[in-house]
């Protein structure tokens, strides 16, 4: 209803304006011949259409504004997304860098642990070598002390024998001097007295000779004791070296699962003076080829016995140049 009222009112207003214009001509006294008709064109305006156009324009404006707003929001969203991607990439790079630092730190810690373990192993090996050297030094010192004691005993025995011989010679010289002095003073001594003196002198010489022989026998006995002590020390050293070789062979021997108590494989070992293995050969089989082969390989795997180089050449040639080892499941025996 409202849409018709506005156009009617507008049309009415237009007609009133037209009548007012015509009234001016009606009351005009000019020459009617000069009057000319005037044409008036009336046009109806649809205010609803105008309003709809305005509404459409506003709606278009709103749509344009909405489109610009959406475009702005899209750009802002793209910027935020780009910023988030940049931050995510930065975070990823930081995380990657952190992981690399952690990996590098773990690798450094692992390397430090390995180096520490290696240092401890070297220190343990050095301590073991020092201990072995100290044992060898003590053994050498013990042998030197025994040799010194034996030499001291021998020297003392020689000095004692020399002192006794000199004392006896001095006593004999003094007795001879007294006898000569007495002979000079007692020229008239009987022949029996002279014979008695000569017999006494012979007896004293025999006694001196006996004592000299006893001194020589004592020196020979001391030398024999020294040889026995040296041989005993050599045997003890050989026994210690034997235990040492047995321990290294036992450590390098991989006993096969076929081994049984009572089995014996005898291996002949030849060494160089440096302690290195020259050869290893089976001289008595246990009846099990695998057991025999493991015994020979145990010697070859040991390869070298360093303490053998500390043994004197004579003891080495007599006892260690070539020896045999009995490989038993119960343990090694020379």
Q: Is residue 181 part of a domain?
A: yes
Domain match, 263 and 229 both: no
Residue 91 lies in a domain: no
Residues 192 and 261 in one domain: no
Percent of the chain at pLDDT exceeding 70: 89
Q: For residue 257, tell me if it sits in a domain.
A: yes
Quick one: CA dihedral 290, 293, 294, 295, positive or negative? Answer: positive
Domain shared by 258 and 286, yes or no: yes
pLDDT digits over 105-125, tens only? 888 888 888 889 888 898 889
Q: What is the pLDDT of residue 107?
A: 82
Residues 228 and 265 in one domain: no
CA gap 64, 70 in Å, rounded: 10
Q: Is residue 94 part of a domain?
A: no
Domain CATH code at residue 279: 3.30.1150.10
Q: Is 328 left (phi over 0), alpha (psi -120 to 50) or beta?
A: beta
Pick left, alpha or beta for residue 39 (phi over 0 → left; psi -120 to 50 → alpha; otherwise beta): beta
Same domain, 139 and 187: yes
* Domain final residue, candidates 233, 264, 288: 233
Number of domains, the chain: 2
Q: What's the pLDDT at 272?
A: 97
281 domain residue, yes or no: yes
pLDDT above 60 for 265: yes
User: Is the pLDDT at 28 greater than 70, yes or no?
Assistant: no
Q: What pLDDT shows up at residue 39?
A: 55
**Are 240 and 139 a contacting pair, CB within 8 Å?**
yes
The answer to whether residue 173 sits within a structural domain is yes
Q: Are 201 and 176 in contact (CB under 8 A)?
A: yes
Query: Residue 143's closest CA among 275, 24, 62, 236?
Result: 236
At 46, the pLDDT band (50, 70, 90 cuts) reads: low
Q: Which pTM value belongs to this model? A: 0.35
Candidate from 74-83, 217-226, 296-305 with smallest mean pLDDT = 217-226
Residue that is last in its domain, among 233, 266, 281: 233
CA-closest candidate to residue 269, choices 331, 321, 332: 321
Q: What is the mean pLDDT of the chain?
A: 86
C-alpha 333/C-alpha 266 separation (Å) is 9
The answer on 312 and 229 residing in a single domain is no
Out of 2-16, 63-77, 160-174, the most confident range is 63-77
Q: Give the mean pLDDT of 275-300.
A: 96
| pLDDT at 80 exceeding the cut of 80 | yes
Indicate if 280 and 213 belong to the same structural domain.
no
Domain presence at residue 80: no
87 part of a folded domain = no
Q: What does the pLDDT look like over 200-217, one tens digit per residue?
A: 999 999 988 988 888 788
62-72 pLDDT tens trace: 998 899 999 99
Q: What domain range is 258 assigned to?
A: 253-334
Q: Where are the beta strands (DSSP E) in the chain?
A: 265-271, 277-284, 322-328, 331-333
């Amino acid at each position: 209803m409202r849409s018709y009222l506005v156009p009617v009112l507008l049309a009415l207003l237009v007609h009133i304006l037209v009548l007012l214009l015509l009234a001016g001509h009606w009351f005009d006294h000019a020459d009617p011949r000069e009057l000319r008709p005037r044409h008036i064109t009336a046009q109806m305006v649809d205010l609803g259409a105008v309003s709809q156009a305005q509404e459409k324009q506003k709606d278009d404006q709103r749509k344009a504004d909405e489109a610009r707003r959406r475009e702005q929001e899209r750009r802002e969203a793209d910027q935020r997304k780009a910023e988030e991607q940049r931050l995510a990439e930065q975070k990823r790079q930081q995380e990657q860098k952190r992981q690399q630092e952690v990996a590098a730190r773990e690798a450094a810690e692992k390397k430090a642990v390995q180096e520490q373990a290696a240092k401890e192993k070297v220190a343990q090996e050095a301590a073991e070598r020092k201990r072995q050297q100290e044992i060898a030094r003590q053994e050498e010192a013990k042998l030197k002390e025994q040799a010194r004691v034996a030499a001291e005993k021998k020297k003392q025995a020689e000095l004692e024998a020399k002192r006794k011989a000199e004392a006896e010679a001095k006593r004999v010289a003094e007795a001879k001097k007294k006898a000569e002095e007495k002979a000079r003073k007692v020229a008239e001594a009987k022949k029996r007295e002279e014979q008695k003196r000569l017999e006494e002198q012979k007896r004293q010489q025999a006694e001196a000779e006996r004592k000299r022989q006893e001194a020589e026998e004592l020196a020979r006995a001391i030398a024999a004791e020294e040889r026995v002590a040296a041989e005993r020390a050599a045997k003890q050293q050989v026994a210690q070296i034997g235990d040492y070789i047995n321990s290294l062979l036992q450590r390098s021997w991989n006993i096969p699962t076929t081994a049984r108590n009572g089995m014996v494989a005898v291996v002949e070992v030849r060494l160089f003076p440096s302690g290195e293995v020259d050869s290893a050969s089976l001289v008595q089989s246990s009846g099990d080829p695998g057991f025999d082969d493991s015994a020979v390989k145990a010697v070859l795997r040991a390869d070298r016995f360093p303490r053998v180089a500390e043994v004197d050449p004579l003891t080495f040639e007599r006892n260690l140049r070539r020896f045999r080892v009995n490989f038993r499941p119960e343990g090694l025996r020379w």
